[in-house]
C-alpha cells in the first residue's frame, strides 16, 4: 500500500471517509506517516486532521509550517482548532496564532485561557441564538438569510436581552409548528446549562444523565458564550472510561501511538512505586524467616493467601472506582456500600477459607495448617473488601483521582496483611 508509487496510493485512499483516512495513519508505521501525508496532500482535508489520533496529529502538524497550520485551524470549528493547537510547544503555538485572522485568533486564545479538560476547551463558538420575541416563521427566515451561521446544529438557543439563555428549541419542534407561533411557546425552559469552567468529565455525565444533544455554555455572568454538542462528548466518555482502566493498571495514558519513551517512563514510574510496596510486603515475610526455615511449606502456601486477597481487593476497587466516576456512589450511600462490601467479603472469605482450609488439611494431613490458612484467608478477604472501598472513597474525599493511586494502597494492604496473618497465625499456634 505504501512507498514510491504515490499516485496509486492516492487512488486507493481517495474514496475513503475522512475518519477512515485518519485511521489509516494509525495503521501504517510511524516513519511512513509523513510520506503518506505527502502522497495524499489534497485529500488531507480538515475533517481528516480533526479525526486524527492526538499523537499522530502532533507528528504531522509539527512537520508543517506555521502558516499552513493556521490555514487548517481557520477552517476547523473552534473546539477542533483548539484540540489541534493545544498540544503544540508554546513557541510553535505562538507562531500559528500569529498567522491567524484576528477574529479566529481571539476565539482560540480565549479557549486556550480556560483550564485543560474544561468546558471552555470543548465548546464551539458557532451556534444559533435568537431573542424570545421571534416567531417560528421569523426564525426560519433568519436561518435562511444568514449565510454565516453554522450549517450543522441541532438546537436553537433562546436568549434574553442580556444574552442569557432562557430556553432551548429542538429543530424538530420548530419544523412541526405553524409559522405564527412565538418561540417562547415552543421552547423548553427546562435546560441544562454548562458553566464554562466545568470539568469535561462532569459535562459528559450531564449529557448522559439528561440525554442531551447539545447544551449552552455560559460565562460567570450567565451569558451564552458557546455550545457543546454530543458528538464531542462521545469521545470524552470513551476517553474518561479508558483512562480509569489504564490508570487502575498503572499504564499511564496507554495510547498505542504514544512515543515509546513516554510509555516506558509512565509505566516504569508506576512499577517503581509498586516495587516499594513489594519490598514492604517482603519485609513482613522477612520477620518470619526462622519459621520458614523450620517449616518451608509455609513459604509454599503464603502466595495463595496474599494473591487471593489481592484479587478480592481488585474486584471491590474496580466496582467502587466506576461507581465514583459515574456519580453512583455519593456521601449519602457510602456507609451502605461499605456494609455491602463487608458482607460480600465475609461470604467470599468464608467460602474460600473453608475450601482452601479443607483442601490443605486433607492434602497435608495437617488440620492445624488447614485452620491457619483458612483463618488467614477470611482475615485477608475482609482486609481486601475494606481497603477496596475505603481507599478510593478516602482519596476521592481529598480530591485525588481514585483510579490513579488506589491500587497501590490496596495491594500493599492485601500483601502485607496476607503474609502477616498467615505466618503470624502459624507462629502463634506453634505450627512453626
Phi then psi for 300, rounded to 5 degrees? -70, -40
Please, what is the minimum distance in Å from the beta carbon of residue 277 to a second copy?
8
Which of 130, 134, 213, 354 is the binder for a second copy (CB under 8 A)?
213
3-class DSSP state for residue 190?
A: coil
CA distance 132 to 224: 14
Residue 22: CB atoms within 10 Å: 20
**Residue numbers 192-211 binding a second copy by CB under 8 A:** 207-211
Indicate the helix (H) or strand (E) that contains 388.
helix 367-397
**Nearer to a second copy by C-beta: 99 or 415?**
415
Point out which span in 3-11, 71-79, 171-179, 392-400 binds a second copy (CB under 8 A).
Answer: 171-179
The SS3 of residue 29 is coil
Q: Which region among 55-63, 71-79, 92-100, 148-156 touches a second copy (by CB under 8 A)?
A: 148-156
Q: Compute the distance between CA of residue 79 and CA of residue 50 in angstroms, rounded to an integer.
A: 10
Site residues for a second copy, 375-414, by CB under 8 A, read: 411
Q: Is 312 in the site for a second copy (CB under 8 A)?
A: yes
For the chain, give the number of residues.
432
Q: How far is residue 249's CA from residue 240's CA, in Å, rounded to a whole number?
A: 14
**Per-position DSSP letters for 142-159, written without gaps between them:** HHHH-TTS-S--SEEEEE
The region of 35-43, 101-109, 158-166, 270-278 touching a second copy under the rule CB under 8 A is 270-278
Compute CA distances 297 → 45, 139, 192, 302, 364, whole Å: 67, 82, 63, 9, 10
* Radius of gyration for the alpha carbons in the chain, expressed in angstroms and rounded: 29
> Does position 308 bind a second copy by CB under 8 A?
yes
Judged by CB, which is closer to a second copy: 88, or 370? 370
Binding mask 278-307 for a second copy (x = CB under 8 A): xx-xxx-xx--xx-xx--xx-xxxxxx-xx
Q: Which of 34, 43, 159, 170 binds a second copy (CB under 8 A)?
A: 170
Instruction: Map residues 326-355 to x or -, x wherever contact with a second copy holds by CB under 8 A.
Output: x-xxx-xx--xx--x--xx--xx--xx--x
Which own/partner contact pairs does 51-55 have at CB distance under 8 Å and 24+ positions apart?
A: 51/18, 51/19, 51/21, 51/22, 51/23, 52/22, 52/25, 53/22, 53/25, 53/26, 53/255, 53/257, 54/83, 54/87, 54/255, 54/257, 55/255, 55/257, 55/258, 55/259
> Looking only at residues 230 through 269 of this chain, which bind a second copy when binding is defined by CB under 8 A?
230-231, 233-235, 237-238, 241-242, 244-246, 248-251, 254, 256, 260, 263-264, 267-268
The nearest distance, CB 51 to a second copy, in angstroms, is 8
List residues bridging with 194 in a β-sheet.
217
CB 202, min distance to a second copy, A: 14
Residue 250: CB minimum distance to a second copy, A: 6
Report d(CA 37, CA 19) in Å as an integer: 15
Cα–Cα distance between 215 and 170 in angstroms, integer? 11
> Smallest distance from the beta carbon of 235 to a second copy, in angstroms?
7
Strands (E), 125-249: 129-131, 155-159, 165-170, 194-195, 214-218, 224-229
Quick check: 55 binds a second copy (CB under 8 A)? no
- Applying the rule CB under 8 A, the residues between 57 and 76 that interact with a second copy are none
**Contact between 317 and a second copy per CB under 8 A:** yes
Q: What is the DSSP letter of 133?
A: T
For cell 490496596, what's the residue? 410
Within 21-40, the residues that bind a second copy by CB under 8 A are 23, 26-27, 29
270 binds a second copy (CB under 8 A): yes
Q: Which is nearer to a second copy, 91 or 331 (CB)?
A: 331
Tell me how far, at minimum, the Cβ of 109 lies from a second copy, in Å: 26
Contact call for residue 42 and a second copy (CB under 8 A): no
Considering only residues 5 through 24, tell me which ones interact with a second copy, judged by CB under 8 A.
Answer: 17, 19, 23
Cell of 101: 485572522
Strands 155-159 and 165-170: antiparallel
Stretch of 66-74, 115-123, 137-145, 393-401 contacting a second copy, by CB under 8 A: 137-145
Does 96 engage in binding with a second copy (CB under 8 A)? no
Count of residues engaged in binding a second copy, rule: CB under 8 A: 115
Check residue 315 for interaction with a second copy (CB under 8 A): yes
**Please, which residue, 95 or 143, has the CB nearer to a second copy?**
143
CB nearer a second copy, residue 110 or residue 230: 230
Amino acid at each position: 500500500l505504501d512507498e514510491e508509487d504515490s499516485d496509486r496510493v492516492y487512488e486507493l485512499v481517495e474514496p475513503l471517509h475522512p475518519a477512515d483516512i485518519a485511521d489509516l495513519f494509525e495503521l501504517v508505521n510511524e516513519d511512513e506517516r509523513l510520506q503518506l501525508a505527502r502522497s495524499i496532500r489534497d485529500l488531507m482535508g480538515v475533517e481528516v486532521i480533526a479525526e486524527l489520533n492526538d499523537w499522530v496529529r502532533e507528528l504531522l502538524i509539527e512537520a508543517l509550517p506555521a502558516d499552513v497550520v493556521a490555514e487548517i485551524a481557520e477552517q476547523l470549528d473552534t473546539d477542533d482548532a483548539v484540540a489541534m493547537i493545544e498540544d503544540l510547544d508554546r513557541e510553535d503555538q505562538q507562531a500559528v496564532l500569529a498567522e491567524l485572522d484576528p477574529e479566529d485568533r481571539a476565539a482560540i486564545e480565549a479557549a486556550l485561557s480556560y483550564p485543560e479538560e474544561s468546558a471552555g476547551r470543548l465548546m464551539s463558538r458557532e451556534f444559533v441564538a435568537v431573542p424570545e420575541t421571534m416567531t417560528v416563521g421569523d426564525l426560519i427566515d433568519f436561518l435562511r438569510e444568514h449565510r454565516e451561521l453554522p450549517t450543522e446544529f441541532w438546537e436553537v438557543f433562546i436568549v434574553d436581552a442580556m444574552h442569557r439563555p432562557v430556553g432551548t428549541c429542538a429543530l424538530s419542534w420548530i419544523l412541526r409548528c405553524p409559522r405564527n407561533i412565538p418561540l417562547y411557546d415552543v421552547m423548553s425552559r427546562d435546560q441544562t446549562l454548562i458553566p464554562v469552567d466545568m470539568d469535561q468529565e462532569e459535562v459528559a455525565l450531564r449529557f448522559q444523565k439528561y440525554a442531551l444533544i447539545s447544551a449552552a455554555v455560559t460565562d460567570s455572568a450567565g451569558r451564552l458564550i458557546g455550545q457543546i454538542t454530543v458528538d464531542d462528548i462521545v469521545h470524552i466518555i470513551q476517553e474518561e472510561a479508558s483512562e480509569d482502566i489504564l490508570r487502575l493498571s498503572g499504564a499511564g495514558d496507554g495510547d498505542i501511538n504514544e512515543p515509546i519513551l513516554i510509555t516506558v517512563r509512565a509505566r516504569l514510574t508506576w512499577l517503581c512505586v509498586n516495587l516499594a510496596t513489594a519490598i514492604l510486603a517482603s519485609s513482613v515475610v522477612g520477620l518470619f524467616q526462622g519459621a520458614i526455615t523450620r517449616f518451608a511449606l509455609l513459604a509454599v502456601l503464603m502466595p495463595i493467601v496474599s494473591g487471593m486477597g489481592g484479587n478480592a481487593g481488585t474486584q471491590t476497587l474496580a466496582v467502587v472506582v466506576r461507581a465514583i466516576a459515574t456519580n453512583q456512589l455519593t456521601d449519602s450511600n457510602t456507609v451502605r456500600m461499605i456494609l455491602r462490601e463487608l458482607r460480600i467479603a465475609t461470604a467470599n472469605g468464608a467460602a474460600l477459607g473453608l475450601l482452601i482450609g479443607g483442601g490443605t488439611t486433607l492434602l497435608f494431613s495437617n488440620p492445624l495448617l488447614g485452620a491457619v490458612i483458612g483463618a488467614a484467608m477470611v482475615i485477608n478477604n475482609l482486609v481486601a473488601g475494606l481497603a477496596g472501598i475505603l481507599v478510593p472513597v478516602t482519596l476521592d474525599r481529598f480530591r485525588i483521582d481514585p483510579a490513579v493511586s488506589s491500587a497501590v494502597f490496596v495491594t500493599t494492604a492485601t500483601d502485607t496483611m496476607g503474609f502477616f496473618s498467615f505466618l503470624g497465625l502459624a507462629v502463634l499456634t506453634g505450627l512453626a
